Structure 1
Amino acid sequence: VLGHRSRPLGPMPNEDIDWSQLDSLEKYRSYTRYLRAAEEADRKDVWWKTYRKYREEERKE
């Protein structure tokens, strides 16, 4: 049962793309928007560090 894969329930992603003319597809206009979002996400505290800090503050009290 684990090795058997059933058919997907819906259409496959990118099924409607014409793969014979890849140059005609619209490309991303700029990379800076995605780079900026990645840098902002990198500056945020990660949940496990904030939870650890919360638990340490709880122990001190």
Structure 2
Amino acid sequence: MITERNDRCVVSGLRRLYFDFHDAIDLYAKDEAKGRVEIEAVIHDICKRGSGGGESNQAKG
């Protein structure tokens, strides 16, 4: 079903963001400046996905 496929895409996308965020936190612990850039990028991706504007949502829509 299309709905199930979309649900899986959303879950896998959120899982990717979750792991990206934790990777950014780990980087921040090692290098504050680089970590801030990565955290900002992940937060930006989360905001885009939350507003329905993420690339993966548009490509699969």
- TM-score (normalizing by structure 2): 0.36
Q: Which has the higher contact order (CA 8 A, sep 6+)?
A: 2
Structure 1 or 2: more helix by fraction: 2
- TM-score (normalizing by structure 1): 0.36
